[in-house]
Structure 1
Amino acid sequence: MTDPSPEPIPGDDPSLLVAAPSTRTSLWRHGGFLRLWAGQTASQFGAQLGGLAIPVLAVQVLAATEFQIGLLNALQTAAFLVIGLPAGAWIDRWIKRRVMILADLVRALSLALIPVLWFAGILEFWHILVIATVIGVATVFFDVSYQSFLPVLVPRDDIAEANSKLEGTSQIARVGGPALAGGLLAIVQAPVLLAGTAFTYLLSMTALLSIRDRETPKPRSERRPLVVEIREGVAFVVRQPLLRRIVLCTGVGNFFNTIALTMLPILVLRHLGLGAPLFGLIGSIGAIGGILGALFAARLGKILGEGTVIPLSATLLGFALLLTPLAGMFPTAAIPLLIAMEFVLSVTVLVYNVTQVSFRQRICPPALLGRMNASIRFFVWGVMPIGALLSGVLAATIGVVPTMWIGAVGTLLSAAFVVFSPLLGMRALPDTMVPAATAESGIS
């Protein structure tokens, strides 16, 4: 059974699919992209330092409980659920690069408060919760602007390559960052390491300040009520059948993998007693898979089919996550199991994300990019704070390992949304908006 063709969306002109010129040039000679890439490289390394330092600070320094860890993880992503949709509408009205600059500044100043409070001897867990909430709000605006800015900055034909380069750097940071963070945590305290993360956000802000782009704010005369503009973004996502299936898979998968992975610091640092340096090293070795995923995502799409790699990577991701509770059940094999989990998870997440993000950036009109990305983030990240809170409650009630089994099995089952769809066997994903009837019958 197929859906009716979508109704036209205001501003939905196929000639406006991207704002960047269509003439293709090497990204190595694209000054704006290179500056963006450099800034993101710095902030990604910083994010990896903070990604290890914050749970170590919570678990080992502030002695957080399972429920508190769940609450912390929930607050880090709660903003996507609370303000994700209006943020997208606002971003479509503003200049995206300026939003990213302000978001980087807010994140840098917020993180810098942690070492200040710690040196003053007054740092408490509730401070971490408040700061995590503020950073979460800034991250909503940065991430939605970031995904919407790339199609403005580079030509449409270069979007997939640009995403691959950016994701490849992100994965290099995931390889070196956790090991570096683990080593540094053997020398300095976690709050000191977070000062380094704050500095990298300032480097990202500086790089963005140096970029020149052609984007202009949306004229006030063209703005409609906020609710109407939000509805247009949601409608675009819902009315694209292929995109709708991807969003369902990603949203349900994120809900369950958040249930599983929220308790990973408790499992590694407290139950297995592996320590921060080894925790970081496991993440670094496993993240090598992410580099491979970023390098070969486009090639795999050509060999296996762009549509096919989405259900394939989603299924493999689910199987990889099953290794996490197994590590808790078999402590003597925990290290190789966790490394294998991180490796396969990194490969599959990168292949999945590079493929589906490039697809949605190609088919979306520039006027809707912010709202489209915000709508998707609302659905696929908005479930994460709920999953994190549920993880904390379940772990405190039935234990860490049973909670991880629930999350891992649920993640695997979420792949059904894309496995049983026209995506499986599809050689090329569309470059333009997809009428429902055409998409459901399959596109070659």
Structure 2
Amino acid sequence: MTVPGGKEADAAPGSRGPLTTVLAANAVSITGNSLTLIGVPWFALDTTGSPGKAGFVAFCAALPVLLSTLAGGPVIDRLGRRRVSIASDLICGLALASIPLLHRLGVLEFWMLCALMAVTGLCHAPGEMARHVLVPDLAQRAGTALPRAASLYDAVARGARMTGAAIAGLLVAFLGADTVLFLDAATFALSALLVTAGLRGVPSAEPMRDGPPLSPARYRADLREGYAYLFRARLMLGIMVMVMVTNGLSQSWSSVLLPVHAREELGGPAAQGLLVSVFGGCALAGALLYGAVGERFPRRAVFATGFLIGGAPPYVVAALTDTTAPLLVTMAAAGFGVGVLNPILTTVMYEKVPEALRSRVVGASTAGVLLTTPLGGLAAGFLVERVGLTSTLLGIGGLYFLTTLAPLVFPAWREMDIRPPSADIPGGGPAADTRPGSDPAGSDPVSSSGSSTPVPAPGPGGTPPRR
């Protein structure tokens, strides 16, 4: 097999190396995510003393994520998923390292902090998307069943999040938030190095060669194709609306509510790191358990139960207690519930979306579910300063609960339990290069029988997109 451009493929079918590379790079990246999740809010609180300004920093980081996912799918395919992943990591690493460097030089202004976090938000999402859409092809090459690969991908992320949060909490407490940001920048560099070496010669990671050039007209057509596919099914609309709301609420928790609660009631960043770490560990257990036995149960019931357990309870318990132990137990239960969500949604997306459209559809769906994310931290910071932390926690927790009732109320969600024959699942047959433009046999440009599924934020204890 040859890759586009004539080079002999280094990663032949049957090789586990490329899948291992993506899992390792994702683990490194998510570890850095945990450092950012704890380091940036504390850095903003330490340097400004204002929950409102901390929320505005989160807004500046989240809005560019939405913009880049909204329009990035067609570009990723043309430039190549490997190249996009590497460039994304390097730019984000430089931007993050600049924050503590400028601070130590005494020249960091608040607008500079906001601008540098905006750069990380703009550039990280295409890299994450590029790695995410490679999983079906790499699982196929490794001879790994798609549901198992999706669960493994999420479990690795959960484990990295657990470890990173514990480390970050201790580092912020003992070394300061600026040191954590330096380490976060190093994780980007390591992720770029892994992808550079480990995905060389993988056809699906290389630029699309056979399709038409990316002109403005072609770009608009590609975007329309992704969004047209996205809105074909009622289930798609329901999932987008639900996850769009919960992503914004989860952003309010991770960027403002939990850091402020930890500072005022729980004793500082070490307690926050412990809570996020326990959440991540239990989410890892939930993802692994679903990977082992989850396909035996109806997806809708498991999904709804997981979201009800993992959504509202942490907000309510945090509002009613000023000690760590009750919230720690709640976060453990919430993590276990949230652990089953991404494997379900990722598997459905891989089953339904043709490989030739995957980057475009994932980009469109990710943009849809991120629409409220920029407002989450901004609104939470404003509300905490106006009505207080307890009222904000209870209000957001109530809204979260109402939102997570959707799978039990609306009939369209029953489609989640409709599974295609195994032969129709992407990655179920022999390895082949089915990049956009290659017109693989059996892959219609737009399928009327399936839908893409966006991946939700990890819940109240997880990380937002790399921001």
Q: Same fold (TM over 0.5)?
A: yes
Partner of 1:323: 314
Structure 2 unaligned regions, length at least 5:
1-11, 426-446, 452-467
Aligned residue in 2 for 1:12: none
> What aligned pairs does 1:203-214 form with structure 2 within 5 A after superposition?
203-210=190-197, 211-212=199-200, 213-214=202-203
Cα RMSD, aligned residues only? 2.6
| Cα distance, 1:266 vs structure 2 | 4.3
Q: 1:174 corresponds to which letter in structure 2?
A: R
1:28-51 superposed Cα distances (whole Å, 9 cap, x missing partner): x50111122222222222222222
Q: Deviations over 1:378-425 (max 9, x none)?
A: 111121112322222222222222122222111221123322335459
Determine the structure 2 residue equivalent to 1:217: 207
2:156 maps to a residue whose letter is T
Question: For residues 194 and 51 of structure 1, what CA distance do their matches in structure 2 show?
Answer: 10
| Bigger Cα displacement from structure 2, 139-148 vs 295-304 | 295-304
Give runs of aligned pairs for residues 38-49 of structure 1, distance below 5 A.
38-49=24-35
Give yes or no for the alignment of 1:139 onto 2:115: no
Map of 1:192 onto structure 2: 179
**Cα drift, residue 324 of structure 1:** 2.3
Asked if 2 retains the 8 angstrom alpha-carbon contact of 1:47 and 1:197, the reply is yes
SS in 1 for 2:134: helix
The structure-2 alpha-carbon separation of the partners of 1:354 and 1:426, relative to structure 1 and needing over 3 Å to count, comes to: closer
Count of aligned positions: 408
Label 1:278 to 1:65 Cα distance change in 2 as closer, same or farther (>3 A). same
Q: What residue number does 1:250 align with?
A: 243
| Aligned counterparts, 1:73-222, within 5 A | 73-155=58-140, 158-210=145-197, 211-212=199-200, 213-215=202-204, 216-218=206-208, 219=210, 221=212
1:303-340 C-alpha deviation (Å, 9 max, x unpaired): 3223332222222223xx33324323321xx3123213
- The answer to whether residue 292 in structure 2 is matched with residue 307 in structure 1 is no
Partner residue of 2:411? Answer: 421
Displacement of 1:113 in angstroms is 0.7
Aligned residue identity for 2:154: E
Distance of 1:103 and 1:384 partners within structure 2 = 20
**Residue of structure 2 in register with 1:4 after alignment:** none
Percent identity, aligned pairs only?
24
Q: Higher mean Cα deviation, 417-426 or 227-236?
A: 417-426
Q: Deviations over 1:57-101 (max 9, x none)?
A: 111x21331221221111221123333221122123231111001
Find 1:354's aligned residue among 337, 343, 346.
343
Which residue is 2:38 aligned to?
52
Residue in 1 aligned with 2:382? 393
Task: Give the gaps of 5 or more residues in structure 1.
Answer: 1-22, 438-444
Tell me, in whole angstroms, the C-alpha distance in 2 between the residues paired with 1:349 and 1:24: 33
Q: State how far apart, in whole Å, the 1-side matches of 2:40 and 2:359 are.
A: 30
- Report the residue type matching 1:231 in the other structure: R
Secondary structure, in 3 states, of the residue corresponding to 2:117? helix
Q: Secondary structure at the match of 2:106?
A: coil
Rounded Cα–Cα distance in structure 2 between residues aligned with 1:434 and 1:312: 29
Is 1:263 paired with 2:256?
yes
In structure 1, give the amino acid aligned to 2:333.
V
Change in Cα spacing, 1:227 to 1:426, as seen in structure 2 (3 Å) is closer
Q: Does the CA-based 8 Å contact 1:259-1:391 persist in structure 2?
A: yes
Q: TM-score, normalised by structure 1?
A: 0.84
With over 3 angstroms needed to count, the CA separation of the structure-2 counterparts of 1:94 and 1:345, relative to structure 1, is farther
Asked if structure 2 preserves the Cα contact closer than 8 Å seen for 1:80 and 1:377, the reply is no
TM value normalised by structure 2 = 0.80
Give the 3-state SS of the residue equivalent to 2:212 in structure 1: helix
Within 2, Cα distance between the matches of 1:409 and 1:50? 27
1:267 and 1:329, CA in 2 relative to 1: closer, same or farther beyond 3 A?
A: farther
Matched residues in 2 for 1:158 and 1:124: separation? 50
Determine whether 1:366 maps to 2:366.
no
Question: Quick check: 1:64 aligned with 2:52?
Answer: no
Secondary structure at 1:113's aligned position in 2?
Answer: helix
**Displacement, 1:434?**
5.9
Bigger Cα displacement from structure 2, 99-108 vs 417-426: 417-426
Q: Is the 8 A contact 1:260 1:407 kept in 2?
A: no
Maintained 8 Å contact 2:304/2:404 = yes
User: 2 CA distance for matches of 1:64 and 1:301?
Assistant: 45
Hey, what does 1:240 align to over in structure 2? Answer: 233
Contact 2:37 2:255 in 1 (8 A): no
CA shift in 2, pair 1:323/1:337, >3 Å: farther
Whole-Å separation in 2 of the counterparts to 1:421 and 1:314: 17
